Structure 1
């Protein structure tokens, strides 16, 4: 089957190419499930299905395109080895399948790459070179190594074989899922959404393919709209923190992708938390971007059958721990507040007894006596307690103020009660 002539036109990747790549992918890459997500449906108002690419051996969809590229190297190219640039997932994919196929791999990663991804890449058998502060720095070094050592450069997204391999995600979703009204796909350089868009255009043209980027890195959004926005800043979704989209990918996206939703960091955090709490699945920030878009624009997708691609699950454990705690604070299941009290025996015990009677579990206590805005006979007491919900937190505040102890709420942006 081929795309309609009006669609296929002069696209650099065709449906036939995606279907041909699928034969290579199927031989060595897990066919991940596409499953209904009732709890996410209840949360968002859409009929949600999830494609679990975080279940791959390297916990990312990147295996698909990397394998196709490596499998199509000539014997001479395979002997010379490959070099790739990546902040993590592409690195692990190239390392894993390079080692499996007996191809030498060198991976250049920015020095700022999370250690969990560096360690995982080495564990898959690659030689890792840490270079520069940014992906652009690492890209330049990878190209230098390619020229100096004669290695084949495996581009993370702007390569027809890579794009065709990534398109196999869509082929599986079309076969395993319902008729989708829309699919939400994370965009970094655009390899995944390009391959998927080609497949959906040919086999399920009624499905709207929507991209998702972070507000901090709207590179493809800028390419599509012609409105230049600056890219930069720390983001939870470092896997899609790309300043420059591909030449090949942007051509396909402009033709076949409906539009791009931009999401903020709080929605990304909320999406990572929701996938873990509701689906019991681990997603990195980029992998949760599709759900973040549903949370950002719920009315647009309400009542529609929507497919989400959890594109990767390689998240730093420390970052995950921080997200879970922050979500507990947003839900007011952990509350921090400040009291200025008389510095005399029994005051802390009195407060602790009251909190115990109210069913609040004390997590942290800090006395601060030396601040100049605290009376000489007083002390500042910062308390963090575990609560049930907003109503419970309000009950605690009311009870403390009833004891003559004014309460200042901490956290939640520093807002007072």
Structure 2
């Protein structure tokens, strides 16, 4: 069981360094909105707010740390150019910052990177090199490029200037919500939460109070719970996750030191929970949030965060998502919320069965959106066909009503996930 180490000796940037970073970052970053989320507050019984970094320039908080790091380079370093490796948000943040500061940027991205992220990075003026099937291979390629050319490698999270830049988000949040009690933050390598925690804990100490900081990782890419339990950064094997923006196999060294001192809890959420959170944000808050940016809401909805919350802020860290991925996530979120029901029903191969089944679904006030009728399903008798129905429902109770209506009529529907 991990317990937070006292933050009396807090690693990382000082409050003065974060405040100085804010002056630099203000040249490019917007003050993003803080939106009240009544629909979440009703669930947890306390006031909940959403810090909308999905509406930030480049679509995520990454511009803050990238710009602060690049702005602090010497003239000699700037003349050598910069290089970074990323599958998305860090790439765009570095490319945008480099353009604004007149620095040549080379960005290495994985070969299978989503097209919108690739195009956005190019539009910001960076030279993009596609190399590596996974991000770790891309990182190694960027490091080789830095050694060979002298370009300055810009790390995504493990650097004091990057952490200080991300910490500006904490100062901004505290000005918008001075009485905040709990802040929920996504964690990948730890750049965002270490910056936010550094800023908030230092300010809270001056004010003589405490602010609870909770980090959230995707269950398939969660090195922090293991590392914190071991007391050192531990590398894990990542399993596939929709939250690719926080899929990091090993904590940053600096970030780990800050987090073990200043973060109170770290929890994990599943992809199903993240998909449901994204769907809820889209429907109720009218916000498009990428999977990595929605894990904080997922943690709140799933009950992973226990204890008294008080006034709570959740950081929505980014909104860069491929429309094709968004379509799949919405469908999956509907399915896991039992609002999109997929049924397989064996039927006698005689006229009128399809119409009768559709009438039964309609009588339960559900809507059939797709139908597949086949004679080739596994286990079917020669005199049977299989009907696959995709049905919109209003939730679990309504889905049960649809299934019960079909069974009462003598059919044997099977739910297909």
Fold shared, TM-score > 0.5 on shorter chain: yes
- Residue 25 of structure 1 aligns with which residue? 25
CA RMSD of aligned residues (A): 2.1
Change (3 A) 1:330 1:308: same
1:43 to partner: Cα distance: 2.9
Alpha-carbon separation, structure 1, partners of 2:63 and 2:143: 21
- Residue 15 of structure 1 aligns with which residue? 15
Please say if residues 8 and 14 of structure 1, whose CA atoms lie closer than 8 Å, have aligned partners that are also in contact: no
Q: Which segment is superposed worse, 90-99 or 359-368?
A: 359-368
Q: Give TM-score, length-normalised by structure 1.
A: 0.91
Change (3 A) 1:225 1:376: same
Secondary structure at the aligned position of 2:291 is classed as coil
Alpha-carbon separation, structure 1, partners of 2:308 and 2:46: 5
Alpha-carbon separation, structure 1, partners of 2:235 and 2:90: 26
- Residue 208 of structure 1 aligns with which residue? 212
1:243 to partner: Cα distance: 0.9
Change (3 A) 1:45 1:60: same
Deviations, residues 234-278 of structure 1 (Å, cap 9, x unaligned): 111111111122121111112211131122222211221122122
Q: Which segment is superposed worse, 20-29 or 39-48?
A: 39-48
Number of aligned positions between the proteins: 406
**Structure 1: segments with no counterpart, 5+ residues:** 1-5, 412-417
- Residue 65 of structure 2 aligns with which residue? 65
Does residue 80 in structure 1 map to residue 50 in structure 2? no
Alpha-carbon separation, structure 1, partners of 2:130 and 2:90: 15
Please say if residues 267 and 304 of structure 2, whose CA atoms lie closer than 8 Å, have aligned partners that are also in contact: no
Does residue 226 in structure 1 map to residue 227 in structure 2? no
Alpha-carbon separation, structure 1, partners of 2:377 and 2:71: 66
Q: Which segment is superposed worse, 402-411 or 63-72?
A: 402-411
1:211-360 paired onto structure 2 within 5 Å:
211-226=215-230, 230-297=236-303, 300-302=306-308, 304-360=310-366
Alpha-carbon separation, structure 2, partners of 1:298 and 1:376: 49
Secondary structure at the aligned position of 2:50 is classed as strand
Q: Which segment is superposed worse, 66-75 or 369-378?
A: 369-378
Change (3 A) 1:219 1:408: closer
Secondary structure at the aligned position of 2:58 is classed as coil
Change (3 A) 1:27 1:100: closer
1:298 to partner: Cα distance: 5.5
Q: Which segment is superposed worse, 128-137 or 338-347?
A: 338-347
Change (3 A) 1:378 1:43: same
Alpha-carbon separation, structure 2, partners of 1:395 and 1:210: 39
Does residue 181 in structure 1 map to residue 187 in structure 2? no
Q: Give TM-score, length-normalised by structure 2.
A: 0.91
Please say if residues 40 and 278 of structure 1, whose CA atoms lie closer than 8 Å, have aligned partners that are also in contact: no
Structure 1 stretches of 4+ moved >4 Å = none
Change (3 A) 1:339 1:164: same
Change (3 A) 1:113 1:404: same
Alpha-carbon separation, structure 2, partners of 1:313 and 1:128: 21
Deviations, residues 330-363 of structure 1 (Å, cap 9, x unaligned): 3333222222222122322333344344433222
**Structure 2: segments with no counterpart, 5+ residues:** 1-5
Deviations, residues 69-121 of structure 1 (Å, cap 9, x unaligned): 11112222212210011121010011012112211111111223322212221
- Residue 146 of structure 2 aligns with which residue? 146
Please say if residues 184 and 216 of structure 2, whose CA atoms lie closer than 8 Å, have aligned partners that are also in contact: yes
Deviations, residues 157-206 of structure 1 (Å, cap 9, x unaligned): 11111111110000011111141221111111111111111111111241
1:391 to partner: Cα distance: 4.0
Change (3 A) 1:396 1:259: closer
Q: Which segment is superposed worse, 55-64 or 263-272?
A: 263-272
1:301 to partner: Cα distance: 4.6
Please say if residues 158 and 191 of structure 1, whose CA atoms lie closer than 8 Å, have aligned partners that are also in contact: yes
Deviations, residues 277-334 of structure 1 (Å, cap 9, x unaligned): 2211111111112112212335615552111111111112122112222222233332
Change (3 A) 1:10 1:198: closer
Deviations, residues 121-163 of structure 1 (Å, cap 9, x unaligned): 1121111111112222111111111111111111111111111
Q: Which segment is superposed worse, 346-355 or 212-221?
A: 346-355
- Residue 374 of structure 2 aligns with which residue? 368
Q: Which segment is superposed worse, 280-289 or 352-361?
A: 352-361
- Residue 380 of structure 1 aligns with which residue? 386
Q: Which segment is superposed worse, 177-186 or 352-361?
A: 352-361
Alpha-carbon separation, structure 1, partners of 2:7 and 2:74: 32
Secondary structure at the aligned position of 1:189 is classed as coil
Q: Which segment is superposed worse, 42-51 or 263-272?
A: 42-51
Change (3 A) 1:353 1:296: closer
Change (3 A) 1:294 1:372: closer
